[in-house]
Each structure stands twice: as structure tokens, then as C-alpha cells.
Amino acid sequence: GAVVSQHPSRVICKSGTSVKIECRSLDFQATTMFWYRQFPKQSLMLMATSNEGSKATYEQGVEKDKFLINHASLTLSTLTVTSAHPEDSSFYICSARTGGAEGANVLTFGAGSRLTVL
């Protein structure tokens, strides 16, 4: 089945630094990827929709300059948390649409990345 690889799984950084998280579709092309944020014991909140070859679409309240998304190829989307602060500490999850008539309705998720900002 479709596999989405997310890296790194855990990252610790100092306040003020930037962190990049990668999301790769391993055996399929993903024109659209989604980035979610999840706080402990809470649900997934959509941050942005990443579209290959065009600008990402951000949800209301998400700072686009803070969370930079790049989807330069059909198999890779990256989320960069710029000038990270402790409040950015969270679990970030990407997902990709597998595409196709039937697959268009299925999202495959990465294993997530836990960011801790000291």
C-alpha cells in the first residue's frame, strides 16, 4: 500500500532556530499533501494544504511566515518552523492523497514528527 515517510521523527532545537520536517510519498506521486498539528491528548488540526508547484494554502490563524511549506516535487513536501519558540513544541503530522479515482478519497499519514523547542 501507499507509504508516507516523515523525517525526523523527533527533533529538539533551541529557541530562535529553524527546523525542517520532510514528508515523502515513497511509492506514489502526491500532488497534494496536508500538514496537521496535534497537541497532547487533542485532535489533529489542519495547518495547511501543500500543492506541488504552487503556494500552500494556510488555514485561518496559521502564520505562513512562521510555518514555511515547500512542495517542490511530486514526492516531497517540507515544513519549516522558523524562529521556533517553546509554544511551537508539538506533534506535526503530514498526509498525502494517493490520487486516482478511487484513491483520491484516501489519505495516507506519515508517522509524525515531535518537535521540542527549548
Partner 1 sequence: AQTVTQSQPEMSVQEAETVTLSCTYDTSESDYYLFWYKQPPSRQMILVIRQEAYKQQNATENRFSVNFQKAAKSFSLKISDSQLGDAAMYFCAYRSGETSGSRLTFGEGTQLTVNP
Select the residue interacting with partner 1 from 50, 97, 115, 117 (CB under 8 A): 97
28 binds partner 1 (CB under 8 A): no
> 515531535: which residue's cell?
114
Q: What is the dihedral of CA 11, 13, 19, 20, to 10 degrees?
A: -20
- 33/81 with CB nearer partner 1: 33
By CB under 8 A, what part of segment 45-74 binds partner 1?
46, 49
CA pair distance 24, 26, nearest whole angstrom: 6
Out of 5, 32, 80, 82, name the contact with partner 1 by CB under 8 A: 32
Q: Does 107 bind partner 1 (CB under 8 A)?
A: yes
Phi and psi angles of residue 80, each rounded to the nearest 5 degrees, phi first: -110, 120
Binding residue (CB under 8 A) for partner 1 from 62, 70, 112, 116: 112
CA–CA separation, 112 and 114 (whole Å): 7
Q: Which is nearer to partner 1, 78 or 95 (CB)?
A: 95
d(CA 75, CA 54): 14
Closest CA relative to residue 113, chosen from 17, 1, 5, 34: 5
**Interface with partner 1 includes 34 (CB under 8 A)?**
yes
- In the complex, the residues that contact partner 1 under the rule CB under 8 A are 32, 34, 38, 41-44, 46, 49, 91, 93, 95, 97, 104-107, 109, 111-112, 114
